[in-house]
Structure 1
Amino acid sequence: MADIAAPALNLTPPAPAPMSAAEMAKRGQIAKTAKDFESSFLSVMLGQMMKDVKVSEPFSGGQGEDAFKSFMNEAMAKQVVKSGGLGIADDVAKEMLKLQGLS
């Protein structure tokens, strides 16, 4: 019997089409908006978690403590998102890209 060689298969996916500057800018804005949404969501969650936390004297923040809790929650939420977040931003960005026809 003669040796029969199988045709070579090209399993490499085709290279994606280059993005225009406008599309790259839109994708960047969508990513930023998704991260901002995740940060806002986390800030609200942290606010609900911390609303009944009271620290006793002498370590309490006094009368200004309640006024500045929201700033602390916002800062913590931004840091969590900056460190990788919970993955909410990724899902939100995917849905936003689909809505814009960029998926």
Structure 2
Amino acid sequence: MEISLTQPGPLPPQDRALRDAARELEANFLAEMLKAAKVGETPEGFGGGEGENQFTSFMRLEQARQMTEGGGIGLAESLFHALKERAND
């Protein structure tokens, strides 16, 4: 039976933790990509300083989580299947 993260329907309880881990990994990856793309950075000479920089990381992570929930880039799906395969070995 093929399980998809994007199709509706409940997952078996043992797969929920794998799904959540895969989605969080994809979200963290996307957050790093957003950081590398300088998303959310304030222009030089204008902004809230270190405090703003600290909270920008939270904003990027939440944006990345939303991207993952919306389907992401498919990394969570691949990770989920790899983790599920490994757990079944």
What is the aligned residue count?
78
Matches of 2:64 and 2:37, distance apart in 1 = 13
Q: Does 1:27 align with 2:12?
A: no
TM-score (norm 1): 0.64
Instruction: Give runs of aligned pairs for residues 7-46 of structure 1, distance below 5 A.
Output: 24-46=12-34
TM-score (norm 2): 0.73
Matches of 2:84 and 2:66, distance apart in 1 = 25
The amino acid that maps onto 2:71 is G
Query: Of the candidates 30, 48, 59, which is equivalent to residue 62 of structure 1?
Result: 48
Secondary structure at the residue paired with 2:72?
coil
Give the Å deviation of 1:76.
0.8
Structure number with greater CO (CA < 8 Å, separation at least 6) is 2
Q: Give 1 or 2: higher helix fraction.
A: 2
**Percent of paired sites with the same residue:** 26
RMSD: 2.3
Q: Does 1:81 align with 2:54?
A: no
Unaligned runs of 5+ residues in structure 1 are 1-15, 17-22
Unaligned runs of 5+ residues in structure 2 are 2-10
Give the Å deviation of 1:56.
5.7
Residue in structure 2 matched with residue 6 of structure 1 by the alignment: none
Matches of 2:36 and 2:56, distance apart in 1 = 11
Residue in structure 2 matched with residue 48 of structure 1 by the alignment: 36
